[in-house]
Chain A
Amino acid sequence: MAKGMFVDTTICTGCKACQVACKQWNGLSAEPAHFGKRSGVPYPVADNFTGDSYDNTGTLSATDWRHVRFIEQIDESRREKRWLFSSDSCKHCSDAGCLNACPTKAIVRTDLGNVVVQQETCIGCKFCIPSCPYGVISFSEETGTAHKCTLCNDRIHNGLGTACAKACPTGSIRFGELADLKKRADARLAQLKGKGEQARIYGYEEADGLKVFYLFADRPKVYGQPEDPVVPQRRLVLCSLVTILTAIGVGAAALVNFRERLNGKDEEESNES
């Protein structure tokens, strides 16, 4: 039943169709932060050139639910040449930090396994934002709420695939049943390993398994992904224990200092009468 996406970065050509298709379907505007005013020009002008290869949008944001990374690996002699691309988005973790953190039940997991922010419920407390080990979910000043990829909740609940996967010209992004996707991923991994290429799957174990997982040709770090992401709530019990112990300690200290009752009891009673 659980749906997800398999992103085979080894056949991504960095065309960014996924980024635009996502905006088109989800009605997202271009990122306002990427544009500025110019004297005498009535409309906004893009000013977000970064010089970071062909990546000018930089990160995921409340309006950029997808982001394609460009990693140039070329040695000085130009003998070893690789240009890696990877289309990043919400991973829809099986154990989702943002969902765990949400105090209002704005963030829920649907029957298809995707994690969505219910805009009508979100109060914009921003707790989910630092709680995502992948830095995915973002706050929008415009709406005062948190936003992220919904795995095209409307599409997948109406029998369609995600907009990005549909648009992807090379089939680098694939939507489907998790089980099928894993089969495909394992086959592709074996094929690459067979050709002696270094490749690994990212997302089988992380956060109890990512519903959106990747085939990388290098270490996750290279693609800007955490090497060993921790669902922050897994620290909760220990933190609580330590805090409670401290509380008891402080209580003890107080006890030691304020212990006076027994010898003062009579006076107190006499006062009362």
Chain B
Amino acid sequence: MSPEIIQPPEWAWYYIAVYFFVAGTSAGAYFIGAMEELFGSGGEREVSRAACYIAFPLLVLVPIPLIADLGRPERFWHLFIYNQGGYPYLNLVSPMSVGSWVLLIFSACALLSFLDNLVADRVISFPLFSRYYNRIPRRLYAVLGSLAGFFIAGYTGVLLNVTARPFWAATSPLMGALFIVSGASTGAAAISLYLIWRRRNSGGEVERLEAFDRVVMVSELVLIALLLVLAGRTALPLMTLPFVAMFWLGTVALGIVVPLWFKYRSRRHPFGDAPVLAHYLCILAGGLLLRISLLQAGQL
């Protein structure tokens, strides 16, 4: 192809990349929570609770950057209703179209789980709700929601892969995969942070979460490597400032390698709270910088 002719969408990173990150984290968190919900010992349910309390509030932020980046924000509803026909519209080959719809489903599930936990924690009382209160519905939308969550975490990457921009096209089909694992790790980090905040960061659950996180972050490193191999010359922008700082320093070093080292090391001699807090923050920052880097590198 001759790259120079293919135009960049000029998506604003502070909208779109931030959306990728927030949605990814939210989805990651939700899915972890769901897993805990479905397969974890219901004992403390700290993780799943945390997940639900993270997933939805984050989602609430999501539409803002999405709509703000539109040329005609007031028309955002066209994403769901064909304005000339008045009927719902879904374009299966357009990740953006499908994504919008799934985002709707995911938000619904997240909202339910959110309420559900508020009820369980007696934050709000909802007599009717608590009367028939049991885990079945919770499991149901946990399943549905985590599937949707996976999608939300992943489709943003696919969306980039199915364009003609050289870098995004060349990195096909791995972008979605990378975004999923990244979403999982940032989700995990978010949960951990929440738990620290709630002083619940202890016990088997957290252990298991950590273990999971390590696996995820290793695979994230592997995926990044593969992605760069695929990208070849189109990845050259990543070798220039500010990407060296954002991507290599921010994402790879501080966002993944250092936290990983930290995690493995802390298994033998634990650190104090502060470093722990810091390394989760690093993971989150790394996740954000990853999205920004990959978005902007494709728009240069």
Q: List 24 A-B contacts (CB under 8 A).
A: A100-B91, A102-B91, A103-B79, A103-B94, A103-B97, A104-B79, A104-B82, A104-B89, A123-B75, A131-B162, A135-B5, A135-B164, A139-B71, A144-B72, A224-B5, A226-B1, A232-B169, A242-B173, A244-B150, A247-B150, A250-B150, A253-B212, A254-B32, A268-B41
Other-chain contact of B82, A121, A232, A242 (Cβ < 8 Å): A121
Among A238-257, those with CB < 8 Å from B are 238-247, 249-251, 253-255, 257
What residues of A have a CB within 8 angstroms of the CB of B159 in the complex? 127
The answer for the CA separation of A242 and B230 in the assembled complex, in Å, is: 14
B6 touches A135 (CB 8 A): yes
B71 touches A235 (CB 8 A): no
A130 touches B163 (CB 8 A): yes
B72 touches A261 (CB 8 A): no
A145/B72 contact (C-beta < 8 A), A127-B94, A247-B154 known: yes
Q: Which of B7-15, B245-253, B257-265 contacts A (4 or more CB under 8 A)?
A: B7-15
Other-chain contact of A235, B11, B75, B89, B173 (Cβ < 8 Å): B173
> Is there a chain B Cβ closer than 8 Å to A79's Cβ?
no
> Is there a chain A Cβ closer than 8 Å to B255's Cβ?
no
Q: What's the minimum C-beta distance from B254 to chain A, rounded to whole angstroms? A: 23
A261/B39 contact (C-beta < 8 A), A132-B164, A226-B5 known: yes
Which residues in A have some Cβ–Cβ distance to B below 8 Å?
A: 59, 97, 100-106, 118, 120-127, 129-135, 137-141, 143-146, 221, 224-230, 232-233, 235-236, 238-247, 249-251, 253-255, 257-261, 263-264, 267-268, 271
> Is there a chain A Cβ closer than 8 Å to B100's Cβ?
yes
B157 touches A129 (CB 8 A): no
A238/B93 contact (C-beta < 8 A), A105-B82, A126-B11, A261-B41 known: no
The answer for the CA separation of A126 and B160 in the assembled complex, in Å, is: 12
A132/B162 contact (C-beta < 8 A), A235-B172, A243-B157, A257-B208 known: no
Highest count of chain A CB atoms <10 Å: which of B94, B164, B181, B209: B164
The answer for the CA separation of A105 and B93 in the assembled complex, in Å, is: 12
What residues of B have a CB within 8 angstroms of the CB of A104 in the complex? 75, 78-79, 82-83, 89, 97
A126 touches B71 (CB 8 A): yes
B35 touches A121 (CB 8 A): no
Other-chain contact of A143, B6, B71, B184, B215 (Cβ < 8 Å): B71
The answer for the CA separation of A240 and B219 in the assembled complex, in Å, is: 18
A264 touches B43 (CB 8 A): yes
Q: What's the minimum C-beta distance from B17 to chain A, rounded to whole angstroms? A: 14
A240 touches B176 (CB 8 A): yes
The answer for the CA separation of A159 and B36 in the assembled complex, in Å, is: 65
A258 touches B40 (CB 8 A): yes
Among B129-186, those with CB < 8 Å from A are 150, 153-155, 157-159, 161-165, 168-169, 172-177, 180-181, 184
B161 touches A235 (CB 8 A): yes
B71 touches A124 (CB 8 A): yes
| 9 interchain residue pairs of minimum CB distance | A124-B71, A144-B71, A243-B176, A264-B41, A103-B97, A246-B177, A130-B163, A135-B5, A126-B9
A123 touches B181 (CB 8 A): no
> Is there a chain A Cβ closer than 8 Å to B2's Cβ?
yes
A232 touches B78 (CB 8 A): no
B25-61 to A contact mask, C-beta < 8 Å, 1/0: 0000001100110111111000000000000000000
The answer for the CA separation of A118 and B39 in the assembled complex, in Å, is: 49
A227 touches B162 (CB 8 A): no
Other-chain contact of B7, A132, A145, A236, A259 (Cβ < 8 Å): A132
Q: What's the minimum C-beta distance from A227 to chain B, rounded to whole angstroms? A: 7
What residues of B have a CB within 8 angstroms of the CB of A135 in the complex? 5-7, 164
Other-chain contact of B96, A125, A139, A243 (Cβ < 8 Å): A125
A133 touches B164 (CB 8 A): yes
Q: Which residue of A lies closest to B84 (CB)?
A: A121
The answer for the CA separation of A127 and B168 in the assembled complex, in Å, is: 13
A224/B2 contact (C-beta < 8 A), A130-B7, A135-B7, A250-B181 known: yes
> Is there a chain A Cβ closer than 8 Å to B76's Cβ?
yes
A126 touches B10 (CB 8 A): yes
Q: What's the minimum C-beta distance from A12 to chain B, rounded to whole angstroms? A: 19
A239 touches B35 (CB 8 A): no
A130 touches B184 (CB 8 A): no
The answer for the CA separation of A268 and B134 in the assembled complex, in Å, is: 12
Q: Which residue of B lies closest to A123 (CB)?
A: B75
Q: What's the minimum C-beta distance from B295 to chain A, rounded to whole angstroms? A: 11
What residues of B have a CB within 8 angstroms of the CB of A247 in the complex? 150, 153-154, 180
B8 touches A130 (CB 8 A): yes
A105/B163 contact (C-beta < 8 A), A145-B71, A243-B158, A251-B35 known: no
Highest count of chain A CB atoms <10 Å: which of B11, B71, B100: B71
A238 touches B172 (CB 8 A): yes
The answer for the CA separation of A229 and B2 in the assembled complex, in Å, is: 9
B84 touches A120 (CB 8 A): yes
5 more CB-based (< 8 A) A-B contacts, given A104-B75, A227-B1 = A105-B85, A127-B94, A130-B9, A144-B70, A247-B153
> Is there a chain A Cβ closer than 8 Å to B211's Cβ?
yes
What residues of B have a CB within 8 angstroms of the CB of A263 in the complex? 41
> Is there a chain A Cβ closer than 8 Å to B121's Cβ?
no
